[in-house]
């Protein structure tokens, strides 16, 4: 028996605030400890402030998903104040949210994930030359095409949100910028250009064909575009069996909009979806450098353990649903929504499943966004009135 420890990190893909400690026995990982070496404490920053400041403070949690944080803050304030967005306001907020989601997915696939397969460690693999040509850092043809296409897609965020990151456009009772007819035409042509990019580079075929895949067998037969290259690599390296999660998937539903959410909410487990109960969420502190007991986010406190006790190893709280971990993200959203391919992937549950589900969500979100933008009517009101109550409780879930 050989046992040793490996410290992976800091990861430099985004900010470096992640460190993973691996305990390895007989060439396999026996235990993994994921740690955030950076204490954030955003909850503590909000205490004592005007609740409306949540719209400014919470989006700064993240430089990637700031609109999602913004939408959650606006929903929580709306829930507390009993405010509602006019349907067109909700539609515009959902478009902003969806565009960020789409941009993040293509960034992850191209810049954070596929990039790794261009490393010299894989020299000699039959697919390596193609991976080098497409995904070498700062040089790959796939990378460059994606960065350009993504920058153009983000024009929609500029049009509707004024800027990205940290827009204040999404408010509890609507959005602040009313797109006119010219904006709608521009957004339509921006989306059309992004579809061309996806169909030419990423999928190598119409998006509807990928979105219509129903089985793992059909997915395996996909050969075109970077998706085809990814599936070839996944087969060769056994990515389907790598990194299997708890196979318990939670989604509150993507992009709250005019006609409800873009995807259904629920908890997927062993092929069946049950309603997800937000009251059953707990933040577990057993291995966190945090004081206090496991509690619902409404009741919990964020008091760091300055002693950094030995039984803990992370500045993160661990979210649990009804006492057990649950996976979130594209795979969860698509499986809970009931897409047949995503459900098959949810059972598979590994690295390939997560990446393939992200690709599926790219295709479906692009199609969904086109329909949302087509429904933008510049004559409608986008903002209603709301009053902040003296005391209230609210929850915002995205």
Partner 1 sequence: MQHPALERRRLLHAGGYPCIACTAPEFESPKSTFTETPKIAGMSVGLPTDMPKAWFMALSSLSKAATPKRIDTNARADRVRIAPQPRRERS
Residue 53's H or E segment, with its range, is none
In the bound complex, what is the minimum distance in angstroms from residue 169's beta carbon to partner 1? 5
* Interface with partner 1, residue 41, by CB under 8 A: no
Q: Is 62 annotated as a binding residue?
A: yes
Assess 166 for contact with partner 1 (CB under 8 A): yes
For residue 97, what are its two tokens? 């949210």
Q: Considering the complex, state which of residue 18 and residue 175 has its C-beta at the smaller distance from partner 1.
A: 175
**Which x/- pattern over 43-62 shows residues binding partner 1 (rule: CB under 8 A)?**
-------x-xx-xx------
Answer yes or no whether residue 208 interacts with partner 1 by CB under 8 A.
Answer: no
Distance of closest approach, residue 256 Cβ to partner 1, in angstroms: 20
**Scanning residues 83 to 142, which ones bind partner 1 (CB under 8 A)?**
none
Q: Is 65 one of the annotated binding-site residues?
A: yes
Flag whether 43 is marked binding. yes
Residue 382 Cβ vs partner 1, minimum distance, rounded to whole Å? 6
Measure Cα distances from 10 to 54, 58, 140 in Å. 29, 24, 24
Write a three-state SS string for 112-177.
HHHHHHHCHHHCCCCCHHHHHHHHCCCCCHHHHHHHHHHHHHCHHHHHHHCCCCCCCCEECCEECC
- How crowded is the C-beta side of 252, counted as CA atoms within 13 Å? 15
With CB under 8 A as the contact rule, the residue among 383, 394, 396, 398 that binds partner 1 is 383
Tell me which residue has tokens 């153009």: 152
Helix (H) or strand (E) holding 266: strand 266-269
Pick from 369, 370, 361, 371: nearest CA to 227: 361
Is there a cis peptide before residue 353, judged by omega within 30 degrees of 0? Answer: no
169 binds partner 1 (CB under 8 A): yes
Residue 167 binds to partner 1 (criterion: CB under 8 A): yes
* Site residues, partner 1 (CB under 8 A): 50, 52-53, 55-56, 158, 160-163, 166-169, 171, 173-178, 180, 378, 381-383, 385-388
Binding residue numbers = 43, 62, 65
């Amino acid at each position: 028996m050989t046992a040793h420890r490996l410290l992976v990190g800091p990861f430099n893909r985004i900010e470096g605030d992640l460190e993973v400690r691996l305990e390895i026995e007989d060439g396999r990982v026996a235990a993994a400890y994921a740690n955030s070496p950076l204490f954030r404490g955003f909850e503590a920053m909000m205490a004592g402030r005007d609740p409306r400041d949540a719209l400014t403070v919470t989006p700064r949690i993240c430089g990637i998903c700031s609109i999602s944080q913004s939408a959650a803050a606006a929903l929580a304030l709306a829930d507390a104040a009993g405010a509602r967005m006019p349907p067109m306001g909700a539609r515009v907020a959902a478009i902003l949210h969806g565009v960020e989601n789409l941009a993040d997915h293509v960034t992850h696939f191209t810049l954070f994930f596929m990039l790794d397969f261009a490393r010299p460690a894989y020299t000699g693999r039959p697919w390596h030359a193609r991976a080098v040509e497409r995904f070498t850092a700062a040089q790959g043809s796939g990378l460059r095409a994606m960065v350009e296409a993504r920058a153009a897609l983000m024009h929609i965020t500029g049009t509707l949100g004024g800027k990205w990151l940290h827009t204040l456009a999404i408010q509890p009772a609507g959005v602040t910028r009313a797109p006119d007819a010219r904006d709608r035409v521009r957004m339509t042509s921006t989306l059309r250009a992004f579809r061309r990019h996806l169909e030419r580079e990423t999928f190598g075929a119409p998006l509807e064909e990928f979105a219509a895949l129903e089985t793992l067998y059909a997915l395996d037969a996909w050969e075109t575009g970077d998706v085809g290259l990814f599936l070839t690599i996944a087969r060769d390296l056994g990515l389907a069996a790598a990194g299997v999660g708890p196979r318990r998937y939670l989604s509150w539903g993507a992009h709250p909009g005019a006609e409800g959410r873009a995807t259904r909410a629920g908890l997927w487990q062993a092929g069946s979806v049950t309603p997800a109960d937000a009251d059953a969420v707990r933040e577990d502190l057993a291995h966190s450098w945090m004081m206090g007991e496991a509690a619902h986010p409404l009741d919990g406190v964020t008091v760091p353990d300055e002693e950094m006790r030995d039984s803990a190893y992370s500045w993160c709280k661990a979210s649990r649903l009804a006492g057990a971990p649950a996976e979130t993200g594209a795979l969860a959203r698509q499986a809970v929504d009931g897409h047949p391919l995503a459900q098959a992937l949810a059972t598979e549950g590994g690295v390939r499943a997560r990446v393939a589900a992200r690709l599926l969500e790219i295709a479906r979100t692009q199609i969904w966004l086109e329909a949302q933008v087509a429904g933008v009517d510049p004559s409608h009101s986008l903002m209603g009135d709301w009053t902040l109550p003296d005391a209230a409780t609210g929850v915002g879930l995205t």
